[in-house]
Structure 1
Amino acid sequence: MKGTADTFKWILVVGARPNFMKIAPLIRAIAAHNNKNGNRIEPFLVHTGQHYDVRMSDAFFRDLQLPEPDVHLGVGSGNHGEQTGKVLIEFEKILLQEQPDLVIVVGDVNSTLACALAAVKLHIPVAHVEAGLRSFDRDMPEEINRIVTDAISDFLFTPSPDGDEHLLGGGIPKEKIFLVGNIMIDSLLFNLEQAKKTSILSLLGLSNSNADENPAMPSIPYALLTLHRPASVDNRETFNRILAGLLEVALRIPVIFPMHPRTRKQMHTFGLDGNFVFHDALPVDMSSYRDQNGLMPKIHCFEPFGYLDFLQLMANAKVVLTDSGGIQEETTVLGIPCVTLRDSTERPITVTEGTNVLVHDDPQKIVAEVSKVLEGRSRKGRRPDLWDGQTAERIISVLSEQLTSG
């Protein structure tokens, strides 16, 4: 039921893995708020189940120390309309039952849009964390989700000044917009030391360290790859162009690829399996990354890793190649060169201030940018303002003050 005069019920929504890293700092910040303030916030965590790989989902919940969801909607996969519709129907039932004072959505997945829409139609205030991001590419379903969610939200929390500019340019009143910093970086900085204790580098044959020791820098350099967006892997020609560049990179440096289930499905569909080496078990012998001529002509694939293992891999990579948005931000803070396999980004600050460079699906550009890294000529970035690990505290402070005063 709706909170009392000094207790407020807030529903926080997660749907896919990128959401988990954004909600975890908010849960911690709410707990800290409750320990030192008279007005108490009662968090209610809803997992829509948009990300339907239970094993992968559970690993992230465990690594990020997230509590068990109060409700798991279990909507699963489907086309965009089907998935969005399922979330909208099921989440509305939760809203009618729980009568929250606020709904917090994060990011730009289908669950973000559906839950915000369900709430606003019931006149429940909505806070959108990571508001104002724009790629200006409406072929991306995430771009539509961002635009609509921002248009209907009551509190818009932006990670960088360009987010404020986009919202103001779109007619959002200034009093709804709050520049608070990057919530993803809260999780990164909070978990970085814990990630260093994992044994993933030695298990993958990238370090000679014993599994029970804190691995130092890996013994051999490597590139870390993520690739999963429909625009990257659903089109055979695009996938082949990206792959051509990656295979050239693999001749010079091992490419470590925790493969997303979607990408693996498309790889089989297009008959591209022969370009990859699949390591189904750990540990991996370091020598397996090279053939008899000392070359690495294939990409080395693994099951997806948990958050801490992946963070450790990213922090020690020579270069990261990705089509992910969040990884562009994390590499900027870590100072790791990032080659983004897209022609646009909703996070331009990672290009103007960070370590990120866009290459689209151009094989020559992919190889050229990685060559710059290997030759010590990669761009040097800086950490943007307010990307300091305190974003969640600023968000909770704003919401608490705004909601209790009004």
Structure 2
Amino acid sequence: MKITIVAGARPNFMKIAPIIRAIKIAKEAGKEISYRLIYTGSLNDTSIDASLFTDLNIPAPDAYLGVEAATFAQISAGIIIAFDKELQQNPTQLVLVVDDLTATMSTAIVAKKRGVKVAHLVAGTRSFDINMPKEMNRVITDSLSDYLFTAGSDANRNLTQSGTANAKLFQVGNILIDTIRHNRHRLLKPVWFDVLKIKEKEYILLTLNKHTLINNKANFKKLIQTIIENSNGLPILAPVRPYIENAITELEINHDKLHILPSQTYANFAYLEDHAKLIITDSGNIAEEATFLGVPCITLSDYAEHPETIKIGTNELVGEDPDRLEEVLIQFNQGGWKEGQLPERWDGKTAERIIQILTDNIK
């Protein structure tokens, strides 16, 4: 069986790495299986550095489509043209796509047009806001997919309620947990950690990525001020990309406990997650990792890709509301945080289940 695996952004590789390891194990066990890893972006993409593949212990992509554009139309058109050529030159039996990017949807369309089966990893997540670009990507990709690999019962319910046949659904668990479990003993303390005199479990980790969050400058300033005012004397470590750093700098907020840091390698960043007292983020992936690590997490979003992180995990949603954020921070400072439990099948064996399903069904 030949599988083409598609990554459209850096976070996708964290979910692809366990699949690559599972393929390698299956091949060593005598199964006829191989893969080709495609990145839809450029070889010069600064977010995809060599350390990422070293940290994840996987090879670099076999091919880069080199699509870099500003608009949805340009990105989707560029990927469709480039990926169609890729499949023409390198035939495959299955295209495996990840998450909810424009790249996810575009490559799924190409595969189906060519009569190739599609597997969607992390299927069934919904915000129920069709005006959100990612929601449209999710709905279209799910509707095209032959194999829908879900993380939990909420995702299954979302799909069955939209009329998806049960035969296509496979609740395999959270693939992101495979990666953090596999690498937890390999995490690295950043070299600056001791220089700043930071102590484990005595800091707040702040991560921000969404452009929509920083575009509302007045509200963004209130959010940052709320975090500082309710930090209870704890250092705030904020490893961010340049556009977020610039947005914070423009707020003209100076505080000796707020440390704006450059983006970290996977091994360094996961170390910061594992040893934080509290995580504040706008990322669903980080909220999931926080639940696995047992670290209290506040998410600046109105919905969670995996509601399990809220229902039984360590995550709490506050939206982009400074008042709600302050309320939850006060609760945290008073020691009132929930313990959290691991959701079903967050056991590090998701990739094994996926490869078993595919090898059993595709000959």
The partner residue of 2:175 within 172, 183, 186 is 183
**SS of the residue 1:68 aligns to:** coil
**Aligned counterparts, 1:39-188, within 5 A:** 39-49=31-41, 53-54=45-46, 56-188=48-180
1:111-137 CA deviation, whole Å, 9 max, x = no partner?
111111111111110100100111223
**Aligned counterparts, 1:186-225, within 5 A:** 186-195=178-187, 199=191, 201-207=193-199, 218=200, 221-225=202-206
**SS of the residue 1:85 aligns to:** helix
Larger Rg: 1
Q: Which residue of 2 aligns with 1:275?
A: 253
The partner residue of 1:369 within 304, 310, 328 is 328
Mapped partners of 2:43, 2:271: distance in 1: 23
Q: Which residue of 2 aligns with 1:260?
A: 241
Q: Letter of the 1:365 partner, please give it.
A: R
Q: Which residue of 1 aligns with 2:338?
A: 379
Q: How many residues align?
A: 363
Deviation at 1:107, TM superposition (A): 1.1
1:34 to 2:27 alignment: yes
1:394 to 2:353 alignment: yes
Change (3 A) 1:251 1:275: farther
Change (3 A) 1:150 1:191: same
Unaligned runs of 5+ in 1: 1-7, 208-217, 278-289, 291-295
Q: Letter of the 1:11 partner, please give it.
A: T
Mapped partners of 2:39, 2:13: distance in 1: 10
The partner residue of 2:3 within 7, 10, 15 is 10
Q: Letter of the 1:393 partner, please give it.
A: E
Deviation at 1:205, TM superposition (A): 2.9
Counterpart contact for 1:242–1:341, Cα < 8 Å: no
Mapped partners of 1:102, 1:227: distance in 2: 34
Change (3 A) 1:84 1:359: same
Deviation at 1:346, TM superposition (A): 2.0
Deviation at 1:158, TM superposition (A): 0.2
Mapped partners of 1:183, 1:28: distance in 2: 12
Mapped partners of 2:34, 2:7: distance in 1: 17
**Aligned counterparts, 1:233-312, within 5 A:** 233-250=214-231, 252-267=233-248, 271-272=250-251, 274-275=252-253, 290=256, 296=257, 299-312=258-271
Mapped partners of 2:228, 2:103: distance in 1: 35
Mapped partners of 2:177, 2:43: distance in 1: 22
Q: Which residue of 2 aligns with 1:335?
A: 294
1:319-374 CA deviation, whole Å, 9 max, x = no partner?
00011010111101111001001122221111001011111122222222223223
User: RMSD between aligned alpha carbons?
Assistant: 2.0
1:3-59 CA deviation, whole Å, 9 max, x = no partner?
xxxxx221111121110100000000000000113x311110101117964255433
Counterpart contact for 2:5–2:35, Cα < 8 Å: yes
Mapped partners of 1:50, 1:137: distance in 2: 30
- Answer with 74-83 or 15-24: which moved more: 74-83
Counterpart contact for 2:94–2:117, Cα < 8 Å: yes
1:198-222 CA deviation, whole Å, 9 max, x = no partner?
6563254314xxxxxxxxxx2x711
Mapped partners of 1:305, 1:191: distance in 2: 16
Counterpart contact for 1:135–1:347, Cα < 8 Å: no
TM-score relative to the length of structure 2: 0.94
Counterpart contact for 1:19–1:107, Cα < 8 Å: yes
1:352 to 2:345 alignment: no
Mapped partners of 2:352, 2:270: distance in 1: 23
1:21 to 2:27 alignment: no
Deviation at 1:255, TM superposition (A): 1.1
Mapped partners of 2:61, 2:195: distance in 1: 31
Unaligned runs of 5+ in 2: none
Counterpart contact for 1:50–1:83, Cα < 8 Å: no
Mapped partners of 1:251, 1:335: distance in 2: 21
Q: Which residue of 2 aligns with 1:293?
A: none
TM-score relative to the length of structure 1: 0.84
Change (3 A) 1:147 1:369: same
Counterpart contact for 1:52–1:76, Cα < 8 Å: no
The partner residue of 2:278 within 314, 319, 339 is 319
